[in-house]
Amino acid sequence: MSKILESKTKAFQKSIAEAPLLPGCYMYKDKSGEIIYIGKAKKIRNRVKSYFTNYEKLDARIRSMIDEIHTVEFLTVDTEVDALILESNLIKKYSPKYNIMLRDDKSYIYVKFEKIRKANQPIPTRYSVYQDFPRVTVIRNKKDDGAEYFGPYPDSMPAKRILKRLRKIFPYRTSRHLVYQESSDPLKIFTEDKKPCFYYHIGLCNGACAGLESKEHYQKNYKNIRKFFLGEKKQLLNQLDSKLKKASADKKYEEAAKLRDRIRDINYVTANINISHDTDDVVLNELKKKRRDDAVNNLIGFLKFPQDKLENHKNFRIECYDISNIQGTNAVGSMVVMIDGEIKPALYRRFKIKMKNEPNDFAMLQEVLTRRFRQFLNSQDADDLDIPTDLWKRSKNWKADESFSQKPDLIIIDGGKGQLASTYKILYSFNLHNEIPIVGLAKREEEIFKLSDQFKDEFFNQINDSDQFKRILLPRRSESLFMVQRLRDEAHRFAITYHRNLRSKKLLEKK
């Protein structure tokens, strides 16, 4: 038993040891009984134990929370989706201080429900919160606009998957087109768009925006989806089951079959969507962050570059490049980015090689790096640019690329000595050779090559000598090696995917 757990009461220790191995939520409380943190888990016992077994490795803020914990309460549910919904509603209800304090800087997901317009409210506009046919949407930023929000969800995929499945059962609209009931006559509906949308044709919308669905029918579906997010799945299933029994008793077998299918589909939604419980767990996130930081710091140590060249350990940006082609055709390059050991797909960039049908990987790599660092220099202060470039930069058509405007702290090339030498020459041409360390990762032995004197100007004349390269072997099972391999594999995947897309497009054009 860990020391921190030994410091807790016997009753608390017993609660942790006997926590259910089921999906659900756990609520940590302080001595006053106030809920200070709520989390979800696929197996509650495993999750709560992790807080105490990894205590010493955690951030001071998380240790402070663990020190405050006095009691814990568990709520079990049937599925992981139910746990996700329950956690969201509990956090919304209690607003635990550590759920707010320990949230990271990333943007969270909310499911937004516009509200049903009441009879005494004005006719809606496109952007009114109160609608006769209220929309359900997934958004990133919660607004104080009177709408109902469910969340926050740290990962967009579960919420989107849940809505995708629910929309097949209870179709709803997402279109911004204005639609409302003009009078008490349910058939008198004003619509901006007379044609049904794409979703109508694939069964995910009943044509509300084209006036093909009554307000009452639409709002029934809307209310059923809302019940699901309120955590009232069982009540919803009970209602449908009662309707099913009544339809069967009245010998309305077709209606009964539809209700049976709805019940089956709702159960399928919760039973067959996998939820990642790692994305918002403060302990797992902290341990992963520490592992990433250690991997980056150890890599810096292994590479043995001058300290002033790798002094920026915060927001440490690594870029990895790869080339993909078949005998020079459909040639592409990729740039993938890792910051502080974490992959950043939003910062990836791909390049369609402009040189024609020449199977020269070195030249292609040089083209990619030339284009990348030309963009970087163009994004810098106008004082560093010539007058024509400065005027172009100020024009309305110019916009700095978020990824290209950042200078890497380290460049990794997928390849050996030849690719490394080619990269160095491009950096030298931009006068960046003494600012950005570069290495090559050769696949065969997973060995890293670096240049012996990269940061000396006179080294340019010695680059072609074989003894100007140093070979580095990272420990086989080190996190640093795994991190570099993952980045290299990601660069390869990103490049070859783009190459295949171009090749397929060319084949279709020929046909």
Domain definitions of the chain by residue range: 3-103, 109-271, 283-510
Query: Cα 54 to chain center, whole Å?
Result: 26
Q: 0.75 cut: is pTM over it?
A: no
Q: How far apart are alpha carbons 423 and 335 in whole angstroms?
A: 13
By percentage, how much of the chain surpasses pLDDT 90? 40
Q: How far apart are alpha carbons 54 and 37 in whole angstroms?
A: 17
Sequence-ordered alpha helix ranges (H) in 95-232: 97-101, 156-169, 198-201, 215-229
Q: Minimum mean pLDDT among 201-205, 288-292, 391-395, 472-476: which range?
A: 391-395
Confidence of residue 290 (pLDDT cuts 50, 70, 90): confident
Q: Which residue has the higher pLDDT, 317 or 391?
A: 317
CATH class of 283-510: alpha beta
Q: Which residue has the higher pLDDT, 43 or 276?
A: 43
HEC string of 310-348 equals CCCCCCCEEEEEEEEEECCEEEEEEEEEEECCEECHHHC
The residues, any chain, with a CB within 8 Å of residue 120's CB and separated by 6 or more, are: none
**Most confident segment among 186-200, 378-392, 424-438:** 424-438
Q: Which residue has the higher pLDDT, 186 or 97?
A: 97
Q: Among all chains, which residue has been given the structure tokens 């592409």? A: 332
Q: Is the dihedral of CA 198, 204, 206, 211 positive or negative?
A: negative
Residue 170 has a pLDDT of: 93
Q: Given 3.40.50.920, 3.40.50.150, 3.40.1440.10, 3.90.1300.10, which CATH number is that of 3-103?
A: 3.40.1440.10
pLDDT over 90 at 18, yes or no: yes
Residue 86 has a pLDDT of: 92
Confidence of residue 101 (pLDDT cuts 50, 70, 90): confident
Confidence of residue 111 (pLDDT cuts 50, 70, 90): very high
